[in-house]
Chain A
Amino acid sequence: MINSFFWVDVTFWLYLTSCAFYVLHGFFYKNETLGILGTVTAILGVAINTLALGYRAYEAGHAPFSNLYESMLLFTWATVIGYLMMEFKYKLRIIGTFVMSIVFFSILTIVWLLPYRYQNIDPLNPALQSLWLEIHVMTTFIGYAAFAISFGISIMYLIKNSVEKGGNREGNLKGFFARFPDLNILDELNYKSIAWGFPFLTIGIITGAVWANYAWGTYWSWDPKETWSAIVWLIYAGYLHARVTHGWRGVKTAIFAIIGFLSIIFLYWGVSFILPGLHAYA
């Protein structure tokens, strides 16, 4: 039977294939075809990802943002679109090896690792039936996607940096690393991704507050999810200030961005499973 699970599976295989092509292209860079195949499967994947989300919405009768399974699909969707936009603009396909790996691991977690009960379509609890919620989730996940990209780029930065410092180790891997973009380009792209993520995370937090105010009469109640979103926000505000007012660059900002994304993973998964609070559903 064709249902949203089927389309999610197709998405999974396409992202896996795309990821493989990007990695192969990283090693056999002279073969342009591999890179093009990577991009094409990524585009196909995101198209089917869209279809899966649409199908899910159709089956559930509401926007598909109400549980972890659905929001992860939104995360992969936004990350791939964000990455493709970047590839289109800067033509730095090697970044795809990292970003598509993140995307692949994300979809792997929900298809294979997430317990089945989290995949169910649940009727919406009354508080969740709001347009504000939909805007809140959309913008938040665009923000998460941008931060995920900055995470990938930061890792590339650290690898390239240590390889350049480490001098003359030879071999295939070295050639692979050598093809990473220049350090200052990686640094600038890292900032650029956070410059996308930060406003969207901000809008996400604000629309969440508007929604809470409409549902409960309090725009901010310090529940763990809200508080952690503020912590993450402060970390990235710290990144921006360190960069703009103290001229931090390179390794320091890369580490900062990695800490930022780890705190997002905690905000997204950790808070829901470890800490008690209102946002238990997503």
Chain B
Amino acid sequence: MGEEKVEEKTAAGKGIWETIEDKFIEIFSSPKLAIFIFIILAVLSVFGTVIEQNREPSMYIAAYGEKWYGVIKGFGLTDIYHSWYFSLTLMLLSVNLSVCFFRRLPPKWRLIKDKTVVMAEDAILRQKNNAKLNHNISLQDIKGAVSGLLKKKGYKVITAETGSDVSIFARRGAIGRIGSDITHVGLLIIFLGAIMGSFLGFKGFATIFEGETKSIPNTDFALRVDKFWIEYYDDYKPKDFFSTLTVIDKGKEVFQKTIEVNDPLKYKGVWFYQSSYGQAWDMITKARLYVYDRKSGKFVSEVLTDFGKETDVPNTNLKLKVVGFVADFYYDPASKEVFSKSMEHNNPAMQIEIYEKGVLKTAPWVFSKYPEAFLDKSTKYFIEAAGYQSPQYTGLSIARDPGVNIVWVGSTLLTLGLFLSFFVIHKRIWIKIVDKNNKVDIYVGGNANKNKINFDKDFANLVNELDKIGR
């Protein structure tokens, strides 16, 4: 159908650009395209839930094999929601929505504003709901009662009179017609907010120790963690965790807030969320060391030492100093460096400098879980790492999203539009009362754009009540 229209226009002397423009508008104002786009989005989304997203390559290779990983990766299926084709589909949806909106609103607006009061008798009887009544009352006596009845039912009523008849137009709920448009605009606004968020916002994560001050990337201020603690249920499952944070801007303490899960801190548009916690993986504050005589295996002494502080071992001429710590020991033979393989305390180890009579003898690594791995023979002592205290850090998610409020505005409009469109129903009733020498004929017709079962009942009631007037 549209095809011919375009050709007609071209024939009538339209330029190539106008033709393209017409075609464009024609395609994009079509609600058919909308359903097509829904299907594409749904199918792509299903892919994204079946194939795990944004995981490390080794996981995909394990699951699908090397060859299929290449294919999956090549098609962008490992991050489908950020692939070009997903974005393109969302863009098409937005264009579709916008064109639809501008094409359909004006005629709809005219319908809403329409106040055609006078309608011919046969036109009234062609309405979806209609009836014809007659009464033995004069026109003047009945017209007030009829419009009063409609007003009582919540209709806005307009009347027009000639000498021999009265026309009444009653309407309500016209605003419901634009519910779907408000929904569509709300959705566009949500997209706008999401786009703003992805271009102007940032997301990050920081681990900060109690007492530590960290400057926050992408901002000009710093955050200090004054205190961090966890509350537990009776069965030792964590119930909630808290961080007392102080914002430091240009060297000055600006304000302090204790955040917890579900209660973030906000400063200069940046939000800080309590998201995790853990123990330091590269640092301890205190260590407890046991010293034995290597030959006899006899316990000699116990030392409680601070990190980096030389401490005398009672009953000996030794001094010990803890100079290093890793939570998950790993020795890289290439670089000959020790580091922590993970943030978990899987294989905690500390490096201890051993001084005998003030002279540094060695600095072996001592393993908490494997004390027998202490092989150092430079002194006659055997040292065991009995325990340690490592500081706890709080894990903060950091987000700045200048689009988020726009998303909420869009969501509100979207929802509001739904309620308007489903629950505010446009009902129109036309009545014509025709004078027949102190009798009247009443023509009633009407329709509703939705919920027709209910309107059928309402209409039947109305006709009933009209019938009773003056009887």
List B contacts of A219 (CB < 8 A). Answer: 404, 407
Contact of B411 among A209, A214, A215, A231 (CB under 8 A): A209
Contact with A along B432-466 (1 / 0, CB 8 A): 00000000000000000001110000000000000
List B contacts of A230 (CB < 8 A). Answer: 41, 45
Contact of A123 among B38, B233, B261 (CB under 8 A): B233
- Whether A126 pairs with B241 at a CB distance below 8 angstroms is yes
A224 with B38: in contact, given A185-B453, A199-B419, A217-B271 (CB under 8 Å)? no
Contact of A206 among B411, B423, B453 (CB under 8 A): B411
B31 close to A (CB within 8 Å): yes
Q: Identify which of A24-32, A149-157, A241-249 touches chain B.
A: A241-249
- Whether B407 pairs with A202 at a CB distance below 8 angstroms is no
A227 with B404: in contact, given A216-B397, A234-B41, A235-B42 (CB under 8 Å)? no
Among B17-54, those with CB < 8 Å from A are 31-32, 34-35, 38-39, 41-42, 45-46, 48-50, 52-53
Contact of B237 among A90, A123, A189, A242 (CB under 8 A): A123
Kindly report which residue of chain B lies nearest to residue A242, judged by CB atoms. Answer: B35
Quote the shortest CB–CB distance from A152 to chain B (angstroms). 17
- Whether B240 pairs with A129 at a CB distance below 8 angstroms is yes
- Whether B34 pairs with A215 at a CB distance below 8 angstroms is no
Contact of B453 among A188, A199, A213 (CB under 8 A): A188
Contact of B238 among A126, A185, A217 (CB under 8 A): A126
List A contacts of B235 (CB < 8 A). Answer: 123
Q: How far is the CA of A241 from the CA of B398 in the complex (A)?
A: 40
Kindly report which residue of chain A lies nearest to residue B187, judged by CB atoms. Answer: A237
A199 with B261: in contact, given A216-B397, A217-B397, A231-B45 (CB under 8 Å)? no
List A contacts of B238 (CB < 8 A). Answer: 126
Q: How far is the CA of A246 from the CA of B34 in the complex (A)?
A: 12
- Whether B262 pairs with A127 at a CB distance below 8 angstroms is yes
Quote the shortest CB–CB distance from B177 to chain A (angstroms). 12
- Whether A217 pairs with B52 at a CB distance below 8 angstroms is no
Q: How far is the CA of A217 from the CA of B271 in the complex (A)?
A: 7
List A contacts of B50 (CB < 8 A). Answer: 275
- Whether A245 pairs with B397 at a CB distance below 8 angstroms is no
A231 with B35: in contact, given A198-B418, A203-B415, A219-B407 (CB under 8 Å)? no
List A contacts of B32 (CB < 8 A). Answer: 245-246
Max chain B C-beta neighbours (<10 A), residue from A90, A199, A237, A276: A199
User: How many B residues touch the partner, as a band?
Assistant: 35 or more
Residues of A in contact, count (CB < 8 Å):
47
Contact of B422 among A123, A198, A238 (CB under 8 A): A198
Interface class of chain B by DSSP: helix
List B contacts of A228 (CB < 8 A). Answer: 45, 49
Quote the shortest CB–CB distance from B449 to chain A (angstroms). 10
Quote the shortest CB–CB distance from B411 to chain A (angstroms). 5
B72 close to A (CB within 8 Å): no
Contact of A224 among B49, B203, B415 (CB under 8 A): B49
Q: How far is the CA of A206 from the CA of B194 in the complex (A)?
A: 14
List B contacts of A275 (CB < 8 A). Answer: 49-50
A192 close to B (CB within 8 Å): yes
List B contacts of A162 (CB < 8 A). Answer: none
Contact of A227 among B45, B180, B398 (CB under 8 A): B45
Q: How far is the CA of A218 from the CA of B275 in the complex (A)?
A: 12
List A contacts of B46 (CB < 8 A). Answer: 231
Quote the shortest CB–CB distance from B256 to chain A (angstroms). 20
B399 close to A (CB within 8 Å): yes
A222 close to B (CB within 8 Å): yes
Q: How far is the CA of A90 from the CA of B34 in the complex (A)?
A: 34
A271 close to B (CB within 8 Å): yes
A195 close to B (CB within 8 Å): yes
Kindly report which residue of chain B lies nearest to residue A122, judged by CB atoms. Answer: B237
Contact with B along A120-135 (1 / 0, CB 8 A): 0001111101100000
A210 close to B (CB within 8 Å): yes
- Whether A126 pairs with B262 at a CB distance below 8 angstroms is yes
Among A73-98, those with CB < 8 Å from B are 90
Contact of A199 among B42, B273, B399, B415 (CB under 8 A): B415
Q: How far is the CA of A222 from the CA of B82 in the complex (A)?
A: 10
Kindly report which residue of chain B lies nearest to residue A210, judged by CB atoms. Answer: B408
A245 with B262: in contact, given A199-B415, A199-B422, A224-B49 (CB under 8 Å)? no
A192 with B451: in contact, given A126-B239, A199-B419, A219-B407 (CB under 8 Å)? yes
**A residues in contact (CB < 8 Å) with B:** 90, 123-127, 129-130, 185, 188-189, 192, 195-196, 198-199, 202-203, 206, 209-210, 213-220, 222, 224, 227-228, 230-231, 234-235, 237-238, 241-242, 244-246, 271, 275-276
**B residues in contact (CB < 8 Å) with A:** 31-32, 34-35, 38-39, 41-42, 45-46, 48-50, 52-53, 81, 180, 194, 203, 233, 235, 237-241, 260-264, 271, 273, 275, 397-399, 401, 404, 407-408, 411, 414-415, 418-419, 422-423, 451-453
Known interface pairs A217-B397, A231-B45, A234-B41; 6 further A-B residue pairs with C-beta atoms within 8 A, sorted by A's residue number: A195-B422, A203-B415, A219-B404, A222-B81, A235-B42, A246-B35
